[in-house]
Amino acid sequence: MQQVAETIGLWGRTALFRGWFRAWLGLAVLLAGISLRAATFTATLDRDAIQVGENATLTLKFDDGKPKSMPALPSIANLQISPQGSFQNYTIDNGRSSSSYTYTYAVIPAQPGDYTIPTLGAIVDGKVLTSQPLKLKVVKAGATDTAGGGDQLAFLKLFVPKKEVYLGEICGVQLQLFIRDGVANAEGILQSFEQLANNSSPLKVEGCNILKTGYAQRRQVQAGNGNYTVATLVTAISPAKTGPITIDSINATLTLQLPTGGRRRDAFDPFGMFQQYDERRVPIAAEAQKITSLAVPKENAPANFNGAVGSFTLTVSAGPTNVATGDPITVKVQLTGRGALEALSLPDQPAWHDFKTYPPTAKIETTDPLGIQGTKIFEQVIVPQSADIHELPPISFSYFDSDKKAYQTLTQPAIPLVVRPGGVTVQPSVAAVGRPTQDAPPLTKDIVSIKQRFGAPASTAGPWLRQPVFLTMQGIPVLALVGAIVWRRRTDSFAANPRLRRQRQVAQTVRTGLSDLRKFAADKKSDDFFATLFHLLQEQLGERLNVPASSITEAVIEEQLEPRGVPAETLNALHELFQSHNLARYAPVTSGQELAALIPKLEAVLKGVQELKS
């Protein structure tokens, strides 16, 4: 252990290793996230009602996980379950990989009756997953089978698993097409028949809602002396009224192709590829079936029963469970089982009076093609209004079990909550129920009620992006940037050019010096006046001649200015100014006007010198 600690300490001291450690840690978390995707296990039957002599297919499917061992198949009297096969599916969709393992079994009944395949358990990724119990109704082989079998090439049959159906219950009616072996175009006819599932249902039933149609796996049966292939369309129907309901008979005519018998082998067609057929038009008909629709009993109906019929289980979870008042909690309610999943709704929970509730959202995950078996998941946001709340009260759901012909109530225990006092949180107002009038059809659920304040009026000017003033304003930072870049270039250029810098400094000195001269002239300060005048001449001449200002004397006029072609007027004026400065040392000028008169002369001289090329 100590060695490990030392090793980790060494890693911690090395920055390189620290970086690698973080990268590997991230990768490990990512991989863990991928592998932690929850595995699921579902068991389904392709049909919920069959006849003796037929078999149903039981499918066990494992998504995102491989079972360590297969579930132990139950031993059910008069029901044989034998393995058929298995396959594995691996898909990558939008970067998300998923895998599934599917195992199929043939379920063969020996006697009519109601069978239940109990909950199956399998170990996947170290966890025990269980499936829902499945029900299978097995009835006697109908007389029509034998009547229809034997000599008939094809026949049609309506099969209703239950003769009594409750309002709100869903019943799967089977339309079976039998075609005897040997019919050449059997495959095409069976495919066309199964494709009816993609269109509207061929069933005609008054007083029933026809929900969805799918097709079951084909099977082989023996009827009479013939072997038949059977295609089955299953249509989910739900009664809309009580009383007798008739599923109308169905008539059709098939054109069957039968190989011509006793035909000699043709020398030009040794393989029989151009074999000829006799076409025979065969009328087929399925007899009408009658069922009785019953209302669910009013006696013993639980208070929270809201019309659900079928067989369900209830699972509830909530999170987060440690919140402040006003914080939302999401309650997830899962109803799994068989029934009208679309119509399922959460019953009112009167015990939630201390919570503000929002309308729940719902989604359905079905496990059969008819969409009547699966899970409906409700997510409801609730907001605790008081810090005195310590639990989410128990949630209950009641339904009518049509097989047991009795009401069942499922209840999940209370979920502990920690609710802290929180700040004032403005929550949306919820669900003031409006009374529907005659011209407003009543709606089953409610919406959040109206707002009482008009609020801030919306701008009529349209989006800012369409307003020229706004778009123009966006030029400001660009102009600032351009200005800063130009300024920076000029500053850098100025810093790299000492002569230019001196030129500007001298220009500034001359400007302030001339101002001082006017002031000295007005104050009759002769000494200061001439000292400044001489200083300005030195600075300007020094800058133009590129020599130190202190080295400038009257002698530069002849030595440097004359050779450069400075006009004589300027040179004379310079002489005068220098001499005035010299004279003033001994005889100061006391007249302000005289001093002031020298300023224009100086300005003219400085201007002349400034024009001198450096």
Partner 1 sequence: MTTSYAKSRPMISTPAWAAVFMLLLLGCLTFTARAATDAGFDAANKLYEQGKFTEAAAAYETLAATGPVSAALYFNLGNAQFKSGHLGQAIHAYEQARQLSPRDPDIQTNLRFARGQIQGPTSATSRWQNWLGSLTVNEWTLLLVAAFWISVLSLAAMQWRPALKSSLRLPALAGGLATVVFGICLGLLWSAQAAPRLIVNTADASVRSGPLDEAKAVFTAHDGAELAIVDTKDDWVQVTASQHTGWLKRNQGLVLPR
Q: What is the DSSP string of 200-266?
A: --S--BTTEEEEEEEEEEEEEEEETTEEEEEEEEEEEEEESSSEEEEE--EEEEEEEEEEPTTPPPB
Q: Which is nearer to partner 1, 313 or 330 (CB)?
A: 330
From 3, 75, 437, 593, residue interacting with partner 1 (rule: CB under 8 A): 437
Task: Report the length, in residues, of the chain.
Answer: 614
Neighbours of 549 (CB within 10 A): 18
Q: Which is nearer to partner 1, 428 or 498 (CB)?
A: 428
> Sign of the C-alpha dihedral, residues 313, 319, 321, 325?
negative
User: Considering only CA atoms, which of 135, 45, 117, 50 is closest in space to residue 402?
Assistant: 135
Q: What is the DSSP string of 521-572?
A: HHHT-HHHHHHHHHHHHHHHHHHHHTS-GGG--TTHIIIIITTTT--HHHHH
Distance CA 133, CA 310 (A): 13
Taking CB under 8 A as the rule, does residue 439 contact partner 1?
yes
Q: Which is nearer to partner 1, 353 or 435 (CB)?
A: 435
Distance CA 188, CA 185 (A): 5
Q: Which is nearer to partner 1, 352 or 407 (CB)?
A: 352
Using DSSP's 3-state secondary structure scheme, residue 198 falls into helix
Residue 448 Cβ vs partner 1, minimum distance, rounded to whole Å = 4
Task: Enumerate residues 242-261 that contact partner 1 by CB under 8 A.
Answer: none
Helix, strand, coil percentages, rounded to 5, for the chain? 30, 35, 35
Residue 461 Cβ vs partner 1, minimum distance, rounded to whole Å = 10
Name the one range near partner 1 by CB under 8 A: 367-375, 452-460, 495-503, 574-582: 452-460
Q: At what angle do helices 498-523 and 475-495 cross, to 10 degrees?
A: 90
Residue 477 Cβ vs partner 1, minimum distance, rounded to whole Å = 4
CA 545 to chain centre: 78
User: Considering only CA atoms, which of 295, 294, 410, 402 is closest in space to residue 347?
Assistant: 410
Q: Which is nearer to partner 1, 378 or 407 (CB)?
A: 378
Given a contact cutoff of 8 angstroms between Cβ atoms, the answer to whether 59 and 43 are in contact is yes
From 450, 469, 496, 568, residue interacting with partner 1 (rule: CB under 8 A): 450
Task: Enumerate residues 358-387 that contact partner 1 by CB under 8 A.
Answer: 358-359, 361
Q: Which helix (H) or strand (E) holds 411?
A: strand 406-412
Given a contact cutoff of 8 angstroms between Cβ atoms, the answer to whether 546 and 499 are in contact is yes
User: Considering only CA atoms, which of 64, 100, 101, 70 is closest in space to residue 83?
Assistant: 70
From 80, 146, 260, 429, residue interacting with partner 1 (rule: CB under 8 A): 429
What's the angle, vertex CA 574, arms to CA 571 and CA 579, rounded to 5? 130
CA 99 to chain centre: 22
Taking CB under 8 A as the rule, does residue 121 contact partner 1?
no
Tokens 């069957």 locate to: 256
Taking CB under 8 A as the rule, does residue 24 contact partner 1?
no
Residue 342 Cβ vs partner 1, minimum distance, rounded to whole Å = 11
Name the one range near partner 1 by CB under 8 A: 7-15, 69-77, 433-441, 591-599: 433-441
Residue 382 Cβ vs partner 1, minimum distance, rounded to whole Å = 13
Taking CB under 8 A as the rule, does residue 195 contact partner 1?
no
Q: What is the 3-state secondary structure (H, E, C) of 129-159?
A: EECCCEEEEEECCCHHHHHHCCCCCEEEEEE
Q: Which is nearer to partner 1, 483 or 567 (CB)?
A: 483
User: Considering only CA atoms, which of 163, 181, 179 is closest in space to residue 171?
Assistant: 163
Name the one range near partner 1 by CB under 8 A: 8-16, 268-276, 356-364, 507-515: 356-364
Name the one range near partner 1 by CB under 8 A: 271-279, 354-362, 534-542, 581-589: 354-362
Taking CB under 8 A as the rule, does residue 270 contact partner 1?
no
From 1, 4, 32, 440, residue interacting with partner 1 (rule: CB under 8 A): 440
Name the one range near partner 1 by CB under 8 A: 9-17, 114-122, 208-216, 423-431: 423-431
From 447, 500, 555, 597, residue interacting with partner 1 (rule: CB under 8 A): 447
Residue 490 Cβ vs partner 1, minimum distance, rounded to whole Å = 11
Q: Which is nearer to partner 1, 147 or 447 (CB)?
A: 447
Task: Enumerate residues 453-512 that contact partner 1 by CB under 8 A.
Answer: 453-458, 460, 463-465, 474, 477-478, 480-481, 483-485, 487-488
Q: Which is nearer to partner 1, 34 or 484 (CB)?
A: 484
Taking CB under 8 A as the rule, does residue 355 contact partner 1?
no
Binding site for partner 1 (CB under 8 A): 358-359, 361, 427-429, 434-437, 439-441, 443, 445, 447-458, 460, 463-465, 474, 477-478, 480-481, 483-485, 487-488
